[in-house]
Homo-oligomer: A and B are copies of this chain.
């Protein structure tokens, strides 16, 4: 690592709503801020078809547009977005070193805002038919299934909520729930019941294979009470949870909770000095853009405090 590497005030890992909101605040306070993104600027928001509940947009807003608006706002105040993948972070000499595919970068504070991805089943056909019959986001891809049959996999809140949502398009939905009951809230389970004319729930049913013909999904193979059951369908939506994007933290010593989300204190600090975390990858996250953006703003103020404190504290190692 070159010692004349510039020291940034703030590096965010990720450039979704959390990081962009944080950057709006940090750059507006003249903190030198770099956002590192390996995928899509705007994060999951940008690949969401329509966002109805982000506060401030009475008629909703296209996810892509919201992502672009956040980016434009952060860049207006001076945020720099770089395309690079982060491979590790190490607190060192009162700073934080960030290993990236573009070399080592240094900052006074790092905000981990990498979010979470949708969990996959890991079964045959899932990758092969990804986005061509196998989907993870109802608002993104539901409209392709107008007057078609669907299979929904999962029994949690998002499975119940999205199954109900998909009834606006699909003629019928087979909902495959692995266990003997749904984990979804009663409110949502009642919603599913209200749509019993369109949604048939199958309990104790595993999802084994997605079967296609001539490049199209035609059925889902499943097992119910040790018997194989086949569900003919035009498409499959999988809602079995989220996978926190924390792979790059292996060996960093950062503390995770039981489902792999990053633990923070009430000041959004991880156990690594100078390393903050907010949004969908943080333990306790709600997986809502509003909450993520709000946490980004809060994190920005707390990072500013931390940097002010650094400035007042003599650094023994530097």
Chain A interface residues toward B at CB < 8 A: 17, 20-21, 24-25, 28-31, 52-59, 61, 66, 69-70, 72-73, 76, 185-187, 191, 266, 284, 286, 288, 290-298, 301, 304-305, 307-308, 311-312
| Chain B residues whose C-beta falls within 8 Å of the C-beta of A307 in the assembled complex | 187
Interface of A is mostly: helix
Q: B288 touching A55 by the CB < 8 A rule? A: no
CA distance A17 to B290 in the complex (A): 12
Residue of A29, A52, A58 with highest tally of chain B CB at under 10 A: A58
Q: B308 touching A187 by the CB < 8 A rule? A: yes
| Chain B residues whose C-beta falls within 8 Å of the C-beta of A76 in the assembled complex | 58-59
Closest 9 CB pairs of A and B: A294-B294, A290-B297, A58-B72, A21-B55, A58-B73, A185-B308, A55-B293, A291-B298, A291-B294
CA distance A69 to B291 in the complex (A): 18
The one of B57, B286, B295 in contact with A56, judged by C-beta atoms closer than 8 angstroms, is B57
Q: B297 touching A288 by the CB < 8 A rule? A: yes
Instruction: Find the B residue at minimum CB distance from A311.
Output: B186
Residue of A20, A52, A76, A185 with highest tally of chain B CB at under 10 A: A185
The one of B73, B294, B305, B311 in contact with A297, judged by C-beta atoms closer than 8 angstroms, is B294
Q: A288 touching B296 by the CB < 8 A rule? A: no
* Besides A25-B53, A30-B191, A186-B312, 15 new A-B residue pairs in contact (Cβ under 8 A), listed by A number: A20-B55, A55-B73, A58-B72, A59-B76, A185-B304, A185-B308, A186-B308, A286-B298, A288-B301, A290-B296, A290-B297, A293-B293, A294-B294, A294-B297, A294-B298
Q: B55 touching A28 by the CB < 8 A rule? A: no
Instruction: Find the B residue at minimum CB distance from A20.
Output: B55
Instruction: Find the B residue at minimum CB distance from A31.
Output: B187
CA distance A69 to B54 in the complex (A): 11
CA distance A222 to B288 in the complex (A): 50
| Chain B residues whose C-beta falls within 8 Å of the C-beta of A191 in the assembled complex | 30
Q: B56 touching A54 by the CB < 8 A rule? A: yes
CA distance A293 to B72 in the complex (A): 21
Q: How far is the CB of A45 from chain B (nearest CB, A)?
A: 10
Q: How far is the CB of A53 from chain B (nearest CB, A)?
A: 5
| Chain B residues whose C-beta falls within 8 Å of the C-beta of A54 in the assembled complex | 56
| Chain B residues whose C-beta falls within 8 Å of the C-beta of A52 in the assembled complex | 28
Q: B69 touching A56 by the CB < 8 A rule? A: yes
The one of B61, B73, B187, B298 in contact with A29, judged by C-beta atoms closer than 8 angstroms, is B187
The one of B57, B72, B290 in contact with A294, judged by C-beta atoms closer than 8 angstroms, is B290
Q: How far is the CB of A288 from chain B (nearest CB, A)?
A: 5
Q: How far is the CB of A283 from chain B (nearest CB, A)?
A: 10
CA distance A168 to B296 in the complex (A): 28
CA distance A21 to B294 in the complex (A): 11
| Chain B residues whose C-beta falls within 8 Å of the C-beta of A59 in the assembled complex | 73, 76
CA distance A294 to B288 in the complex (A): 9
Residue of A28, A186, A305 with highest tally of chain B CB at under 10 A: A186
